[in-house]
Amino acid sequence: MQIIDTGLYRFSLKSDVKHVSTVAKSLYSDSWDLDGPVDFSIRLVYESLLRRFIKPQISFYSDQHSPFKPLPISQAAAVLEWGMNWCIAAHEFERLLIHSAVLVKNGKAIIFPALPGSGKSTLTAHLGLSDWDIYSDEMAIIDTSTSMVNPLFRPVCLKNNSIDLIKAWHPEAYFSPICKDTQKGDVAHVKVLTWEQYQKFDKAQIVAVVFPKYVPESELKIYQLTQLDAFNTLSKNAFNYNVLGADGFDAVARVIKSCRLFEIEYSDLNEVNDFLSEDVIG
């Protein structure tokens, strides 16, 4: 059994697949404090005897139950990360969870809610490995009473071409082996933080919401969003919006009212970095 500490949530992991333990070790080993209780006990197991040998499949279990169908063994490392996301999203109702990346500079946070294929993860990984603090690639975890966003100690999930791009730009970073042909295409995780860096992070005030959209060959285009449009998109991207009810509505409204709201089209990440650093964080 190994412990995975993501800062806010602690997991104990048992894996039938040795490879997954190795990857988890590479991504999280600096946060392995064995003492203290864990929030979720998770397992990766072979579902049936026959399936260990013929077209092997792996199932993710959160304690006694498996929330997804089994997947081919080649995707096991990605299944672990998705499973951890599921645990958080299915049990955290004290904070608002928005499907979004979070980048922070000078204590000011920008959140990037976006659909798959928008280039969100590439943007997060590149900026995070440059001079931004990366609070999350997958979910903005927002305190409902203050609307401050919490940091999370997780890798960034890269898909398809962006794996090679980030590898070329940041050869020094650690990449997990590539999982081929998942539902999201090829997937690899890149470690963007050390535990030491993470522990220096504080909750941050959100100053902007930016909806990114990667458009090949495009110059950087910036659109101001209305509060109404931003509210609609942000609340649709919140995992637990329905459960939080009025508190969720108020939290989203507070973020929207206190933030600058943009939609950007881009192809060059350095242009995006300049815009965010100079014009948004300022």
* Binding flag, residue 37, another protein (CB under 8 A): yes
Count of residues touching another protein (by CB under 8 A): 29
Strand partners, 22: none
Residues 136-175: x where in contact with another protein by CB under 8 A, - otherwise, as a string: ----------------------------------------
What is the H or E stretch that residue 134 is in?
A: strand 133-136
Burial, 58: exposed, middle or buried (Cβ in 10 Å; 0-12, 13-18, 19+)? buried
Please identify which residue in 33, 63, 268, 274 interacts with another protein, judged by CB under 8 A.
63
* Binding flag, residue 57, another protein (CB under 8 A): yes
CB 12 within 8 A of CB 38: yes
Strands laid side by side in the 2-5 sheet: 2-5, 10-15, 40-46, 57-62, 71-72
Please identify which residue in 19, 45, 70, 197 interacts with another protein, judged by CB under 8 A.
70
Please identify which residue in 2, 22, 41, 218 interacts with another protein, judged by CB under 8 A.
41
Comparing CB distances to another protein, the nearer of 186 and 271 is: 186
* Binding flag, residue 220, another protein (CB under 8 A): no
* Binding flag, residue 2, another protein (CB under 8 A): no
* Binding flag, residue 243, another protein (CB under 8 A): yes
| C-alpha to C-alpha distance for 50 and 244, rounded to whole angstroms | 43
CB 175 within 8 A of CB 188: yes
CB 157 within 8 A of CB 123: no
CB 189 within 8 A of CB 175: yes
* Binding flag, residue 107, another protein (CB under 8 A): no
CB 122 within 8 A of CB 162: yes
Stretch of residues binding another protein (CB under 8 A), selected from 64-72, 129-137, 152-160, 218-226:
64-72
Please identify which residue in 14, 167, 170, 184 interacts with another protein, judged by CB under 8 A.
184
* Binding flag, residue 115, another protein (CB under 8 A): yes
Stretch of residues binding another protein (CB under 8 A), selected from 20-28, 63-71, 132-140, 217-225:
63-71
Strand partners, 104: 109, 133
Comparing CB distances to another protein, the nearer of 107 and 245 is: 245
CB of 236 to another protein, least distance (A): 11
Amino acid at 201: F
Q: For strands 57-62 and 71-72, give the pairing.
A: antiparallel
Q: For strands 204-214 and 108-113, give the pairing.
A: parallel
| C-alpha to C-alpha distance for 11 and 215, rounded to whole angstroms | 38
* Binding flag, residue 34, another protein (CB under 8 A): no
* Binding flag, residue 94, another protein (CB under 8 A): yes
Contact residues toward another protein (CB under 8 A) are 36-39, 41, 47-51, 57, 63-64, 69-70, 82, 91-94, 115-116, 183-184, 242-245, 247
